[in-house]
Every structure is written in C-alpha cells, then in structure tokens.
Homo-oligomer: A and B are copies of this chain.
Amino acid sequence: MPATLKIALVGIGKIARDQHIPALAASPDWQLAAAVSRQGHVAGVETFSDTAAMLAACPDVSVVSLCLPPVPRYEVAAACLAAGRHVMLEKPPGATLAEVHALQAMAAARGLTLFATWHSRMAMGVAGAKAWLAGKTVTRAHITWREDVRHWHPGQDWVFEPGGMGVFDPGINALSILTEILPGPVHLTSATLEFPTNRATPIAAQLQFSGHVSADFDWRQTGKQTWDIAVETPDGALRLEQGGNKLHINGAEIAGEDSIMGEYPALYARMAALVRTGQSDVDLAPMVHVADAMTLGRRVTVADFDF
C-alpha cells in the first residue's frame, strides 16, 4: 500500500472547508486528489460535478470521504463501495439506521473499510474522561448543549427538514461523547421534543436516560454557547467543556484547549489506520439514541423559527 493514500472529498461546504481540507493538507497520510461538488471548488484539485464521473475518472482514488448532508449520503456511499472504494462518513452516518446497516453489509462483503466518524469523540478531553471513568460507578450525568443555530447553520433550512435532525445535529455530538466515556450503556426512558410550528424537526429537546443521565439540547442559545458534560461518581466528579476539549476532574484541569482543530486530523489518522489494517469502525450508538428520542419523545410545539 502506498505511503500516501489518494482521497476524494464529496460535498464542498462549510465543514469541508473549515475542517476536512485543512486536516488533509496537514497530514502525511493523505493526498486530496479529487473533489465532488455542484457549486464548490477546491484550489489545485480536480473537481467533478457528480460522484459517478469522479469514480470513473479517478481509479487511483482508493478512499472517498463524504461531507454532504445526511439525506443524500446513502446513494453516494453505496456507489463508492460498489466501485471498490473505502468510505468515510461525516456524522451522522446517514438519514436512517437501516441504510447504515446496509452500507456495513456492503463494505463487509467487499472487504472495504467503512468509517462512521464522530468528530467529537476525538476532542482533547474525551480519552482522559473515558480512562478515568473506566470501572467507576456513574451516579449522575448531565449534558448541556446549547448553541445558536443562526450562527452555526446560517440559512441552512435542510436542518429543519425531515432527516435534517434539528437540534440533534449538534446534540448527537454530545451523545457520541457520552456513549464513548460512560463505563456502561444507558437507554432513553423519556423525552420532550420542542418543534417550532413551522418546522419538521425539533429546535430543543430534553432527554432522560436510565441511571440518572439526562441531556438538555437547545438551538436558541444566543450569547455564551455551552457544550458541557458533567459526570458524578462516588470517587468524584468530572466535567467536560468546550465540546469535549477541556477536561476537569474534581475541579482540576487535566487536559484541553479551546479549539476543536485537533478533531479532524485525528479522524483522518484513524481512517488511514483502518484502511491499512483492513478494518471498519461503525458504532451507531449515538444515532440509536436520537432515533429512540424521536420514537419515544413527547412532541410539544413552540414558536415559529425563521433564520
């Protein structure tokens, strides 16, 4: 296998420009060899308007990374696997659980790598939090994930369309950390979902899980933005802030930085290792919790929301 893997990016939007392209440019593992975008363009990289054309023109691109919204993702991922390429998926890995199960089966049948990424699991404090909690008893945990959708998704109406997930788009990042660090599984026991009267997905949600674990997701937070997880044990308390990037244990700062810029380089390092060792990594636990909340949650309507 060559020292540098040729990769194509599909979906050149905000997350691709902010995270994927810089992460690839800084890595010795990767060469960004092609891009697929209807409108976007990456300087110095051949850009195609559809995936089929890219796959036909670039037989030496062995890996495709998908950063487009969840609803169109399955068709593109399936086409890439059918063409013998390894696939890396932005979070959430699809619009439905069943389609990701189908991609898993396709990848396994072809001996290809499928990596369903959860970038927040690569935040600076997560590994330390997981190590400290291993073997401990969690008596209580609470997630506070409150941000301003107008700032982070300006004008992106798709987040409020079916499959766009609404406030679970950021909230699933919190759930990806929770399911990584807790020493045992939890399951949803009740939820309230706040739907704006003019929108198809929730703008806020309050979740109750087994074992005194809870979450407060809100997309209407102006001013200070909060992405915190607090965990209590008989041996002390842990606090993750800044989306998992700052870790405090019993009040002392253990690890961390204010930036999330380490997450995508870590994802791409992991993808390179998965491809080189012929493995896949598809953990749907965060997505299962969202599906459970959408199934079991009680819907209430709140004020109209417009960008």
Contact = CB atoms under 8 A, between A and B. Distances in A.
Number of copies: 2
A79 to B, nearest CB: 13
A275 B167 CA distance: 44
A96 B292 contact: yes
A296 B70 CA distance: 11
A105 interface: yes
A99 interface: yes
A78 to B, nearest CB: 9
A162 B96 CA distance: 20
Contacts of A195: 299
Nearest to A285: B98
A188 B96 contact: yes
Interface residues of A, number: 33
A183 interface: no
Interface in A172-188: 185-188
Interface string A141-152: 000000000000
Nearest to A192: B162
Contacts of A188: 96, 98-99
A98 B186 contact: yes
Given A200-B299, A298-B200, A289 B98 contact: yes
B99 A187 contact: yes
A96 B105 CA distance: 23
A101 B190 contact: no
A294 interface: yes
Contact of A187 (B98, B187, B210): B98
A70 to B, nearest CB: 9
Interface string A259-294: 000000000000000000000000001001111101
A95 B297 CA distance: 11
A131 interface: no
Nearest to A186: B98
Contacts of A210: 99
Given A98-B288, A288-B101, A289-B98, A296 B185 contact: no
Nearest to A98: B187
A69 interface: no
10 contacts: A95-B295, A95-B296, A98-B186, A99-B187, A99-B210, A102-B187, A162-B190, A162-B191, A163-B296, A295-B295
Interface of A: 74, 95-99, 101-102, 105, 162-163, 165, 185-188, 190-191, 195, 200, 210, 285, 288-292, 294-299
